[in-house]
Amino acid sequence: MIKDTRRFEPFSENPISLIDDEGKWTGKFDLQLDDAALRDFYRSLIAARQLDERLILLQRSGKTSFAMQAAGHEGIQVAIAKAVKPGFDWLFPYYRDHGLALALGVPAVDIFAENLATRADPAKGRQMPNHPGSKPLNVFTVASPIAAHIPPATGAAISAKVQNTGQVVVASFGDGATSEGDWHAGVNFASAQGAPIVFVVENNRYAISVDLVNQTGSENMAIKAKAYGMPGYYVDGMDVLASYHVMLEAIEHARSGAGPVLVEATVYRYGPHSSADDDSIYRPKEEVEAWKRRDPILRLQKFLKNRGVWDEDWEEEVRQSVTDELAQALAAAEAAGPVPEVWMFGDVYEKQLWPQAEQQKYLEQELGL
């Protein structure tokens, strides 16, 4: 029999929260994170936000073609990164999860290089911008088609179960993904097979311009878990500590052999869906400003201040440190130089076949190489 050690009840009426808007602890249990760990959470939030800002600037300056804004999502993303076992568990993120990748330990130079398609990119310039991945850290490279990564994530989890590795898979996605057939197929199969996987909905209330009420008839996303026979947790994704503790519980449930879990994290994207979107057409500015007042960085800052472990000098030190690290990483990514066009012919097959060899030869002649 699996011992029930849950701190939270699935299918709560309201999102689970442990820090209120004034930074006061509201949990019914004592926080067991020390000050150093809490400061690390805060620094990770700052780094995720600054990374997001730099990626937007790269697109606006013409250095990359596309940007997906993630400001407002940092709470759940950092929580996931802190709750998994990096390099052991598997992550299947989506295109807004560069903050998750950074907090997990993916080098910032890799993330910048992937966006810029330079020689420092582990994917060799073959992905769209904002599609990070990491072989050493078991981060599956982001898939462009919405929800297309859910069935492979389920397959990876079933493999872990069959091989009894003890690994857990975490697959994250936006609320729009839950309207896709791939999402249903993957979640349903995971339930039927008892796969050790945690599905995380980063619900920012908009699938591009389609708001939540026009996307689903369900009262929330977490309740959908009932149809699949798994627990559904409804958490305030802008409360990083609540998100972290819910993720710990969900991951432990999956790792124990009890099957998959669905977690809905309520978040908000402050900017447009992407650099190709004008969000002012479909949502009021007042709504955006109201959500910004619940910012995950500001809430944790208030909490740390109440505990006496935050002050303005330390804030400035942290922000400058992150700024310097990201600047150095970006400089290294740019200095690596652009990916050569002929690289497209490598890694197609284990041993290059004659059609690729001929095509590469013609391209080299055309380029004068």
Statement to judge: residues 221 and 233 lie in one domain: yes
Helix (H) or strand (E) holding 198: strand 197-203
Active site residue 282: yes
Active site residue 362: no
User: How many C-beta atoms lie closer than 10 Å to residue 27's C-beta?
Assistant: 15
Would residue 315 count as lying in a domain?
A: yes
Would residue 350 count as lying in a domain?
A: yes
| φ, ψ at 270 (rounded to 5°) | -70, -30
Statement to judge: residues 220 and 366 lie in one domain: no
Among 184, 282, 283, 294, the active-site one is 282
Statement to judge: residues 210 and 354 lie in one domain: no
Please name which of 173, 226, 227, 163 lies closest in space to residue 198, comparing C-alpha atoms. Answer: 173
Would residue 124 count as lying in a domain?
A: yes
Statement to judge: residues 271 and 306 lie in one domain: yes
Range of the domain at 211: 35-338
Statement to judge: residues 180 and 322 lie in one domain: yes
Statement to judge: residues 82 and 196 lie in one domain: yes
Query: Is 126:348 a contact under the CB 8 Å cutoff?
Result: no
Would residue 25 count as lying in a domain?
A: no
pLDDT value at position 340? 94
DSSP 49-96: HHHHHHHHHHHHTTSSS-----TT-HHHHHHHHHHS-TTTSEEE--TT
Statement to judge: residues 210 and 349 lie in one domain: no
Statement to judge: residues 329 and 235 lie in one domain: yes
Would residue 269 count as lying in a domain?
A: yes
| Alpha-carbon dihedral sign for residues 153, 157, 163, 166 | positive
Would residue 157 count as lying in a domain?
A: yes
Tokens found for residue 154: 């389920």
Statement to judge: residues 208 and 352 lie in one domain: no
- CATH number of the domain to which 198 belongs: 3.40.50.970
3 state SS of 169: strand
Would residue 10 count as lying in a domain?
A: no
Please name which of 268, 348, 308, 321 lies closest in space to residue 15, comparing C-alpha atoms. Answer: 268
pLDDT value at position 5? 64
Number of structural domains found in the chain: 2
Active site residue 95: no
User: How many C-beta atoms lie closer than 10 Å to residue 150's C-beta?
Assistant: 28
Statement to judge: residues 265 and 197 lie in one domain: yes
pLDDT value at position 81? 98
CA distance to 300, 317, 326, per residue, from 313 (Å): 16, 6, 20
Query: Is 317:323 a contact under the CB 8 Å cutoff?
Result: no
Query: Is 169:89 a contact under the CB 8 Å cutoff?
Result: yes
Statement to judge: residues 235 and 352 lie in one domain: no
Statement to judge: residues 250 and 364 lie in one domain: no
Average pLDDT per run of 10 along the chain, which is 369 residues long?
69 96 94 96 98 96 93 98 98 97 98 97 93 96 96 98 98 97 98 98 94 93 98 98 98 98 97 91 94 96 97 98 98 97 90 94 93
Would residue 18 count as lying in a domain?
A: no
